[in-house]
Amino acid sequence: MSPLLTLTGVHTHIGRYHILQGVDFTVPEGETTMLLGRNGAGKTTTLRTIMGLWRASAGSIRLAERAIEKDATPDISRAGLAYVPETMAVFSDLTVRENLVLAARDAALDDTRLAWIFGFFPALKKFWLSRAGTLSGGQKQMLSIARAIVEPRRLLLIDEPTKGLAPAIVGALVECLMEIKRGGTTVLLVEQNFRVAQAVGDRVCVMDNGRIVHAGAMAEFAGDEGLQQKLLGLSLDTHQ
């Protein structure tokens, strides 16, 4: 599978802090790549750097054949990338419907795609005309993900989508991610729940201290508890 996204020697400084220190990895087209690592390893900084929210101080970021490391975030978004931050970024004073309308680039909502989204997240249909600020944390996360997938995207960057969610919602989210993958969308996903990572991931990249220290097939990584312990500090039984 050819890479859709390629990072080569990417460095990112935030103020006086050198966060990413030569990040190298690829995201194959049509697959889900998991970006794992301990807290503070640089995972969120990697996603934000890809989206241009933080500027790479060195290195290259390529979307297929296009260099995007110097592009503005709106241009990167128009190239087909969508970013779901872990902060559940929604417009609290707008309704669920208005949040999704704003996320649709042509300012129109496709009824068929909405029905597909409601199949995974029925609460969004129930609270369609409610202000997003009145939703629960889990419902806001649903809305944040729905905003990213309200239109087909080439690449989704998703940061810890299951954080703080109830198990039933996590299950629906896993089904949604699997369906997105079956539809051909490429996903780069940061996730602390290893069982979710194992369920949806094709490949895994592990970060430590701002660098990629392991990359390979998820099936192989999931079957090697010693490697999990070494790189993540947790075994499969405890990393849930």
Query: Same domain, yes or no, for 202 and 166?
Result: yes
236 pLDDT exceeds 50? no
Structure tokens at 52: 């241009």
Give the chain's domain count: 2
Does residue 85 lie in a domain region?
no
**Predicted structure pTM score:** 0.90
Q: Do 25 and 133 sit in the same domain of this protein?
A: no
Q: Which residue has the tokens 């859709």?
A: 4
Please say if the pLDDT value at position 6 is more than 90.
yes
- For residues 101 and 143, state if they share a domain: yes
Same-domain check for residues 75 and 168: yes
166 with 72, same domain? yes
Claim to verify: residue 116 and residue 142 sit in the same structural domain? yes
Distance CA 162, CA 37 (A): 16
In a domain, 86, yes or no: no
Do residues 73 and 117 both lie within one domain? no
Cβ contacts of residue 226 below 8 Å, gap of 6+?
Answer: none
Question: Residue holding tokens 């993540």?
Answer: 232
Residue-number span of the structural domain to which 56 is assigned = 1-80+154-240
Q: Is 67 part of any domain? A: yes
Q: Which two tokens stand for residue 45?
A: 């900084």
The model's pLDDT over 45-95, given as tens digits with 9 standing for 90+, comes to 999 999 999 999 999 999 999 999 999 999 999 999 999 998 877 999 999
- Let me know whether 161 and 220 are in one domain: yes
Asked if 53 and 73 count as a contact pair (C-beta separation under 8 A), the reply is yes
The mean per-residue pLDDT over the stretch 124-140 comes to 94
Residue 165 vs residue 30, higher pLDDT: 30
**Residues 193 and 116 grouped into a single domain:** no
Domain boundary among 152, 180, 204: 152
Query: What CATH number has the domain bearing residue 55?
Result: 3.40.50.300
For the segment 6-14, the average pLDDT, to the nearest whole number, is 98
Are residue 72 and residue 108 in the same domain, yes or no?
no
How far, in Å, CA of 169 to CA of 15, rounded? Answer: 37
For the stretch 89-128, pLDDT in tens is 799 999 999 999 998 876 678 899 999 999 888 999 999 9
The model's confidence at residue 167, banded by pLDDT at 50, 70 and 90, is confident
- E strand map for 93-165: 155-159
